[in-house]
Amino acid sequence: MAKNKVGKLDTVAIGDQKILRGTGGELHQTAGGDIPTLTTQQGTPVADDQNSLRAGQRGPTLLEDQHFREKIFHFDHERIPERVVHARGFGAHGYFEAYESLSDLTKADIFQRKGEKTELFARFSTVAGNKGSPDLARDVRGFAVKFYTKEGNWDLVGNNIPVFFIQDAIKFPDLIHSAKQEPDRGFPQAQTAHDNFWDFISLTPESINMALWIMSDRTIPRSLRFMEGFGVHTFRLINAEGKSSFVKFHWKPKQGLQSVVWNEAVKLNGADPDFHRRDMWNSIKMGNYPEWELGLQVFDEKFADEFEFDVLDPTKIIPEEQVPVRIVGRMVLDRCVDNFFAETEQVAFQTGNLVPGIDFTNDPLLQGRNFSYLDTQLSRLGSTNFNHLPVNAPRCPFHHFQQDGHMAFHNPTGRANYEPNSWGKQGGPRENPEKGFQSYGEDMEGAKGRYRSETFADHYSQARQFYVSQTPVEQGHIADAFVFELSKVETMAIRERIVAHLLNVDEDLAGKVADGLGLKSMPKPADAARPTITDLKTSDTLSIILNGPKSFKGRKLGALVTDGVDIDLVDALKTAVEKEGGQIEFVAPKIGGVKASDGTLIEAGQKIDGGPSILYDAVAILVSKDGAAALAKQPAARDFAADAFAHCKFIGYSEEARALLEKAGIWSDIDDGCKMLSKKSDGAAFIDMCRDLRFWDREAKLA
């Protein structure tokens, strides 16, 4: 993997900014005029704030990089006790079941025996918002799993998006500072629609690929159960013979992929800011256990050398068409926590928690994360003994000489608290070269310095590949998201710089965003360190719509009912939903429920003004004639129908519902995504329709 080449800095212009750029495309915004020189806290001038100190361009980060250590150390300790990032989370217990032995690839004990189950704890989270922020913020979702293996804890700490904003961890404090609420005013929270964030993105070309991902529907998932997870970085697998393979980790939801539309997300945050938490809690409590399959993309040095991009670059993916994902096991979440604080809040994940058979690569973002997490846990949990907490403690035997410290639950027993010692069996544990963790013996050479490999320099090609791999509906959502976010940006130059970057991704996308912003003229394309590769093959796996649920299993139907509703229609629909493995919830004018046509009481799960259609994957409106007339006078009932239609949901309705649908303004636009339910068999036919995500054909007509 000899991809090293040192080059010099050159001056480029991005909009109104004059900036130095290295061979890797990284930016160096230089002091000049009245701008002071950046220094460390000790006053030492900083020459390079874009790259950590490494042994060779593609080598590991060096421990002696005190500027990076100071910067990340201070960042990790900015908040107590709330997490600086990923503060709002939901955790659950479960297990991992191996489908096969992977002894040919790795000696990791968890992958040695087919059918063996390993206890685990998973936590899902938003990134930018504080603990009290809403679940449906447009944001990356954290996806972290702690495996309690027989050889120690392995933490796979990832996201629901396979790439990241930055290539070097030294920029992580800057990224998060820009995304968080602006420091002079304390807002906005849990959203990136403000000047600071887009200013940073506009001056950081390596972030453009991630910008496309975060403006997609990936950042507004319908449920945590319906999103993918990724390890993001390239890791190594090492087998018993010492042979190494590269690997990327994937979590594939067995429920399929599903997201909401933006208008729906905004309303969900108002109707139920705990929507994702409640959905996961209820699903597990009902026995509808969420499942994901673990997949591996495994490749060798030859592929890494020939691949169009650098496999150590965390802003890039390896398309599944080039390296197929090998499914090797499944994760099942089958138990909610007993206490949220003790488990979900105190769980401590670390990228550095590996087990024999799994190892790091020189990905500079991963190397920096390995520095960062211990600092974070000390600040947040208050002691170096955070691993004594039950949720963090390994389930296998553990022995060491570490002692004392704040809240030490376990101290070494006996005379020896050091090694080597001469006390024999009473002298405590000893290292084991055969079973112990050993880093892969990778050959390394290179000059010590701060630089970015030129193999990291292509910032637009994969962004284009992601965009053209989306369906037209999803492409429209991406353009709309850019327009919404940039409309909140007050500085015109920032808007123009983002459009300038988008011109290097796709001219049609840039045109739509520029038109939506009302730009009077199109800016020039941003200077690019590498020209955009326009003929990368599309990848269907990058689309949500093309990978949606194949059934209504695990999804929820909201049925609006009134007194006098036809009991046969209700029973038929309920039977069809439950047969499919879905859930039905009745919404009524009063929480006490309604009396059906035969006098049966139908209990309501929601009152109409507390159960809007945004809470459901599809809706049915089963009402009597008098009931429809009464509902037509209620704004909440009209919104129930109108929102479901606007959000392209499938709608089932009884003939008597016409009065409500007319008042909601949708009767004249009834389409093939709506089905009249007049006989028992219609219930099953309607649920068959609902197996698709949405009736997307409606969206173009509503535009």
Q: Which of the residues are catalytic?
A: 86, 159
Residue holding tokens 């698709």? 692
Q: CB of 699 within 8 A of CB of 673?
A: no
Q: Which residues pair with 448 in a beta bridge?
A: 55
Rounded CA separation 91/333 (Å): 9
Q: How far is it, in rounded angstroms, from Cα 330 to Cα 94?
A: 10
Q: Where are the beta strands (DSSP E) in 267-325?
A: 291-299
- Cα separation, 175 vs 356, in Å, equals 33
**Contact in structure between 162 and 230 (CB atoms under 8 Å):** yes
Distance CA 129, CA 657 (A): 41
Query: What's the CA gap between 333 and 122, in Å, rounded?
Result: 8
User: Measured between alpha carbons, how far is residue 355 from residues 29, 156, 224, 591 in Å?
Assistant: 40, 11, 27, 53
Token pair 């005029």 is found at 33
Residue 463's nearest CA partner among 568, 368, 534 is 534
Q: Which of 434, 513, 529 is nearest to 480 (CA)?
A: 513
Q: CB 432: neighbour CB atoms within 10 A?
A: 8
User: Parallel, antiparallel, or unpaired for β 651-653 and 618-622?
Assistant: parallel
Distance, CA of 543 to CA of 441 (rounded, Å): 38
For residue 476, give the amino acid letter: G
Buried b (16+ CB within 10 A) or exposed e, 123-132: bbbbbbbbee
What number of residues does the chain have?
A: 703
Extended strands (E) in 466-576: 556-561
For residue 420, cis peptide bond before it (omega within 30 degrees of 0): yes
The continuous run of DSSP H or E covering 293 comes out as strand 291-299
Q: Which residue has the tokens 């970057």?
A: 501
From CA 49, how far away is CA 596, in angstroms rounded?
69
Report how far residue 700's alpha carbon sits from residue 703's, in angstroms, rounded to the nearest whole number: 5
